[in-house]
Structure 1
Amino acid sequence: MTGMTSSSRPLLNRRLTEFGTTIFAEMSALAVATGSINLGQGFPDRDGPEEIREAAVRALRDGRGNQYPPGPGVPELRAAIARHQARRYGLSYDPDTEVLVTAGATEAIAAALLALLEPGDEVVALEPYYDSYAACIAMAGASRVPVTLRPDPERARFRLDLDELRDAVTDRTRLLLINTPHNPTGTVLTRAELTAIAELAVERDLLVVTDEVYEHLVFDGAEHIPPATLPGMRERTVTIGSAGKTFSFTGWKVGWVTGAPDLVAAVRSAKQYLTYVASGPFQYAVAEALRLPDSYFEEFRADMLTKRDLLAGGLEQAGFTVFRPAGTYFITADVRPLGETDGFAFCRALPERAGVVAIPNAVFYDHKEAGAPYVRFAFCKRIEVLADATERLRKAFAH
């Protein structure tokens, strides 16, 4: 019996050949090797509310979720998600047919795209985008069509060109993939922008998948508006949420999908052959987390705003051009005022130069040149860590 060797046929599926080890793994390893402060990967360095952690412990001890939970998610969590959507946004979802619990938002994205796309379909996505978008579109056999958010230095934000978005839609377009609040730029799409997106989706009969994992992190008077709330959108929109970003338990991997019954059923068909189920005891804890009073969400946002301003101010003092985000916990900065033009080279040298790790934004672009001068810093860290990082950056770059 003979086996196939790597010399006779490539081992990696050709759809995935452009996707190697993620930049997050590379930069996190570099942070460890150099003893640098890791502001690259977006995970908090402090756990979320103690009462929610204890809720997970209680579920473990009570034997809830230690075996396979129900495929759609435990009823308590699905009901809590439905209540959250109704209370925050006026969106009414049936927890039995219109809510699906997933292994984090990353699985929700994968399941939605695998379920809803056919080979040859086109997906219009806002560039730069979270790296799993491109990989999941490729695995579905579809093609991504990026619409680039352009920097607007006068307003210190990135903006969407609606004409470019309309021009990107063709007869092969099946789906719009929207992320707001937007990672990595921090852009929060306005009601006018989202209304235009909704009108385009209805006019061209497009499905819409919306990644809203940073929904509770909006600043400076910005408002998070779920596209599903707009006319004609509920029946065509798959909305994705996550507990990790809101409650600072990213390792629990609890995400969810809400949408019309036919859309959720389609996503569930794909999801059941990915993880099947996950995070059993943590689902019960997240159900309790979603019932926290509004004061928790306000305090969480205020804490992140303080951290945003601390890091943004330090970056500005070090000489970067800073785009203060209206949402998320990431800051995009332009390295060109420092005499640099290549974000990759800058980030690979930064640990030795300043003892800090960041991520080059170009990894989130198909049009690499558009993202070349930008780097991303995460501010979901303790105040003392951010203060140390900003001092290191000032010493390395400020003149």
Structure 2
Amino acid sequence: MADRTITINGLSKTYSVTGWRVGYILATPELTGAIRKVHDFLTVGAPAPLQRAGVAAMQLPPSYYQELARLYHDKRNSILQILDQVGIPYFVPQGAYYIFADISKFGYKTDIEFTNYLIKEIGIAVVPGSSFFNQPENGNSFIRFCFSKKSETLQTASKKLLKLQSNLKPTF
């Protein structure tokens, strides 16, 4: 079985280095030869500093990642509590550091309008939900929050989000 197995993984999620897009493949030399040819035609190699940082990330002890997971869990729960207070329904993330929230009850025609309101009036930047749909109109009632921020940033964002309670008049 080993001669037919290809293991593909990336550092982005497992080692918390999202955005770097550094990955790896483990396979027999016969299989990796073809994979390297395809890779060579599709992309250039990852920058050497990112590769070195990836090696360093892989060598950190499990306790580092356990603490990181706990930290993200606490940050997630903190933001979820604020969304509960404000009355914004959401989907509880099980592994990412994004929260997909339903804004349909706030009466905006599109997620873009609501996103612009949040930026201009509340001082919070979110990603419009329509960006994640093949047919963007299907995402008009969603926004995405990111909670992989500094604690101070999340505290400030939480205070600003609480302004939604007085600034918005939800339509039920």
Give the TM-score of the pair, scaled to structure 1: 0.37
Q: Structure 1 residues 246 and 385 mapped into 2: Cα distance closer, same or farther (>3 Å)?
A: farther
Is 1:258 matched up with 2:33? no
Is 1:398 matched up with 2:155? no
Q: Which residue of structure 1 aligns with residue 123 of structure 2?
A: 355
Q: Structure 1 residues 368 and 285 mapped into 2: Cα distance closer, same or farther (>3 Å)?
A: closer
Q: Work out the CA distance in 2 between the residues paired with 1:351 and 1:263.
A: 49
Query: Shift of the alpha carbon at 1:270?
Result: 2.7
Q: Structure 1 residues 386 and 263 mapped into 2: Cα distance closer, same or farther (>3 Å)?
A: farther
Q: Which structure has more RCO (C-alpha within 8 Å, separation ≥ 6)?
A: 1
How many residue pairs align between the two structures?
165
Query: Shift of the alpha carbon at 1:256?
Result: 1.1
Q: Which residue of structure 2 aligns with residue 138 of structure 1?
A: none
Query: Shift of the alpha carbon at 1:310?
Result: 0.9
Q: Structure 1 residues 282 and 369 mapped into 2: Cα distance closer, same or farther (>3 Å)?
A: closer
Q: Work out the CA distance in 1 between the residues paired with 2:109 and 2:32.
A: 44
1:258 is aligned with what amino acid?
I
Residue number among 124, 136, 156 corresponding to 1:368 in the alignment: 136
Q: Which residue of structure 1 aligns with residue 8 of structure 2?
A: 239
Q: Which residue of structure 1 aligns with residue 45 of structure 2?
A: 277
Is 1:316 matched up with 2:84? yes
2:104 is aligned with what amino acid?
R
Fraction of identical pairs, as percent: 32
Q: Structure 1 residues 315 and 238 mapped into 2: Cα distance closer, same or farther (>3 Å)?
A: same
Query: Shift of the alpha carbon at 1:313?
Result: 1.2
1:383 is aligned with what amino acid?
S
CA contact (8 A) 1:257 1:264 kept: no
Where is the helix percentage greater, Structure 1 or Structure 2? 2
Q: Work out the CA distance in 1 between the residues paired with 2:53 and 2:85.
A: 41
Give the TM-score of the pair, scaled to structure 2: 0.80
Q: Which runs of 5+ in 2 are unaligned?
A: 167-172
Q: Please give the residue correspondences for 1:197-216 in structure 2 after superposition, counting only pairs within 5 Å.
A: none
CA contact (8 A) 1:347 1:357 kept: yes
Query: Shift of the alpha carbon at 1:359?
Result: 0.6
Query: Shift of the alpha carbon at 1:349?
Result: 2.5
Query: Shift of the alpha carbon at 1:288?
Result: 2.5
Q: Work out the CA distance in 1 between the residues paired with 2:52 and 2:23.
A: 14
Query: Shift of the alpha carbon at 1:364?
Result: 1.4
Query: Shift of the alpha carbon at 1:286?
Result: 1.9
Q: Which residue of structure 1 aligns with residue 67 of structure 2?
A: 299
Residue number among 324, 327, 351 corresponding to 2:95 in the alignment: 327
Query: Shift of the alpha carbon at 1:238?
Result: 6.3
Q: Please give the residue correspondences for 1:183-222 in structure 2 after superposition, counting only pairs within 5 Å.
A: none
Q: Please give the residue correspondences for 1:98-109 in structure 2 after superposition, counting only pairs within 5 Å.
A: none
CA contact (8 A) 1:311 1:387 kept: no
Query: Shift of the alpha carbon at 1:241?
Result: 1.3
Q: Which runs of 5+ in 1 are unaligned?
A: 1-91, 95-233
Partner SS state of residue 298, structure 1: helix
Q: CA RMSD in A?
A: 2.7
Q: Structure 1 residues 333 and 313 mapped into 2: Cα distance closer, same or farther (>3 Å)?
A: same
